[in-house]
Amino acid sequence: MIPLWLPLTLLSALALATSDALTKKALAGHNEYLVTWLKLLPALPLFLLPLPFLSIPTLTAEFYLCVLFSLPLEALAIFLYTKALKFSPLNLTLPLLSLTPLLLLVVPFLLLGERISGWGGLGILLIATGSYLLNAKRGQGGVLAPLRALMSERGSLCMMGVAVIYAVTSTLGKRAIAASSPLFFAACYLPLLVLLITPVALYKGRWELRLMVQNGTVRASALPALCYAIQILAHLYAINLTNVAYMIAVKRTSLLFGVLYGRYLFQEKGGLLATLIMLSGVILILAGG
């Protein structure tokens, strides 16, 4: 029987890939800070409306500390992610996200005491390798191009920072969910995150603020926002059902979905070997994790 966390994680990955593709399109000619803000803002009702009907769990200091440390890191990662999408080609930025599953071989053990099986660890390594190769080979400069781009590409440096931050926030997020509940955590965390990034977005996008309705910024951000909200909900439920490292590794199939978008929407080619490597990793995690 397929464990519930797997389809939830794949749903989160698909929604994330869709949101990324739509965000990349929305960024053309628009302020990245406003697009980031507008991607989160419409999701607020989805998370706030259930709040009066949720039973409030007994919250400990662990919950508050995890949220307190995660929020500024999450805000920074969101802005860096959007900057990476705007300033550099996808083939030089997305492969660097493969660093997150590798870091999660260590971080959850240190913060949660989670242990990874031998087969599960091998599966994570295969997914990380496949997710790197999947996008690295699509551009010019060969397999090492994303690593070389760290010396010259602003977006690549931004995405490297995102990969490191996500290894920490994913683990802290699971601790906070375990100390509360997925829906309660989402209903608290996302509004606080929006509150934190709002003044930064409004200041950085102040010259475009009055024009964002007329120039299409709001309209272009609507669909990315919906997809982003779906991926958050699926992520929060999935990560509570399995090891952080397994869930985040499988979520990196969002890169595979991104390639499929390129293949069927834009007639891009390539990625078969990397796809098989990633799928082998998922199978190993299911079999041995």
- Residue 50, pLDDT score: 76
| CA nearest to 49, candidates 170, 234, 187 | 187
* DSSP secondary structure letter of residue 53: G
User: What is the model's pLDDT at position 10?
Assistant: 92
Looking at 60-117, list the stretches that DSSP marks H as alpha helix, in order from N- to C-terminal side.
61-87, 90-93, 99-103, 107-112
**270 exposure class (CB count in 10 Å sphere: 0-12, 13-18, 19+):** middle
CA-wise closest residue to 50 among 227, 182, 239: 182
pLDDT in tens, 163-194: 899 989 988 998 998 888 888 888 889 889 99
Please state, in angstroms and rounded to a whole number, the distance separating the CA atoms of residues 242 and 8: 11
Question: What's residue 192's pLDDT?
Answer: 92
Q: How far, in Å, CA of 175 to CA of 157, rounded?
A: 28
Distances in whole angstroms, Cα of residue 23 to Cα of each of 113, 118, 137, 226, 273: 36, 37, 23, 11, 27
Q: Which residues of the chain have pLDDT under 50?
A: 266
Burial degree of 45 (CB within 10 A; 0-12, 13-18, 19+): exposed
Q: Would you state the pLDDT for residue 31?
A: 77
Of the chain, the end-to-end C-alpha distance in Å amounts to 14
- Measured distance CA(112)–CA(99) in Å, rounded: 19
pLDDT of residue 48: 81
pTM given for the model = 0.77
Residue 138 confidence (pLDDT): 52
Q: Quote the radius of gyration of the chain (alpha carbons, Å).
A: 18
Which structure tokens are listed for 157? 């440096």
Give the separation between CA 268 and CA 130, rounded to whole angstroms.
Answer: 18
Burial 210-248 (b: 16+ CB within 10 A, else e): eebeeeebbebbebbbbbbbbbbbbbbbbbbebbbbbbb
DSSP state, residue 209 = G
